[in-house]
Amino acid sequence: MNLIVVREFRPDDVAAVAAIEAVASPDPWTPALFEGELSVLPALRHWLVACEAADDRPEVVGFVGMMFVPDDTGAHPEGHVMNVAVRPDRKRQGIARRLLIEAFADALARGVEHLTLEVRVSNDPARSLYHQLGFAPVGLRPRYYPDGEDALILWAHDIQTVEFRRRLGLREAS
């Protein structure tokens, strides 16, 4: 297996990210939606891609997008994982974990206090990963997905802790 590099999502990544999304999701985002996300203020969004550093041409094998929700003071106490996917032939290799940890490290640096996401009730591998990363179920969104499947609502509260950093394998804040 080649080295995986995580970096910022760029406009020239849209086609590769949309191709992964098209095979990973029964209701995929369009390239136009990803392009639109890249135009949102960086204070409100953060997108990363995982690239396999094979030869001279790194290939995108996964991505993650976070949305930050400001409060009345302009601080961003909440982060929402909007989308995460890994190319099917690269699943179960720690790529999604790595993307999420990088995204959560950025959220910590921004002062985010709580993280949330929705996951398909049937997606046991993702639910297990989120549990390992400190998320707990708090509710259900009935028929959330276009195919009628329910979404489990997960939260990780009070993430600005040494315990959460350790869970992610990050050093303590200085």
Our answer to whether residue 8 is catalytic in this structure is no
Q: Can you give the pLDDT at residue 171? A: 80
Q: Alpha carbon of 111 to those of 114, 126, 134, 154, 155: distances in Å?
A: 9, 25, 17, 19, 16
Catalytic pick from 21, 37, 113, 118? 118
Nearest to 173 by CA among 111, 80, 123, 127: 111
Catalytic pick from 37, 78, 130, 144? 130
Q: What is the pLDDT of residues 148-159, one digit of tens each?
A: 999 999 999 999
Q: Can you give the pLDDT at residue 173? A: 64
Q: Can you give the pLDDT at residue 56? A: 67
CB-neighbour burial class of residue 88 (10 A; exposed 0-12, middle 13-18, buried 19+): exposed
Q: What is the DSSP letter of 94?
A: S
Give the domains, in start order, of the chain with CATH numbers. 4-168 (3.40.630.30)
Our answer to whether residue 144 is catalytic in this structure is no
Find tokens 């990050």 and name the residue.
Answer: 170
Q: Can you give the pLDDT at residue 174? A: 52
Phi, psi of 118 (to 5 degrees): -115, 145
**Is the predicted pLDDT of residue 55 greater than 70, yes or no?**
no
Q: Are 77 and 114 in contact (CB under 8 A)?
A: yes
Q: What is the pLDDT of residues 10-27, one digit of tens each?
A: 999 999 999 999 999 988
pTM over 0.75, yes/no:
yes
Q: What is the pLDDT of residues 83-134, one digit of tens each?
A: 999 999 999 999 999 999 999 999 999 999 999 999 999 999 999 999 999 9
What are the respective helix, strand and coil percentages of the chain, to the nearest 5? Answer: 30, 30, 40
**What's the whole-number mean pLDDT along residues 45-60?**
87
Three-point CA angle 141, 145, 147, nearest 5° = 130
Q: Can you give the pLDDT at residue 66? A: 97
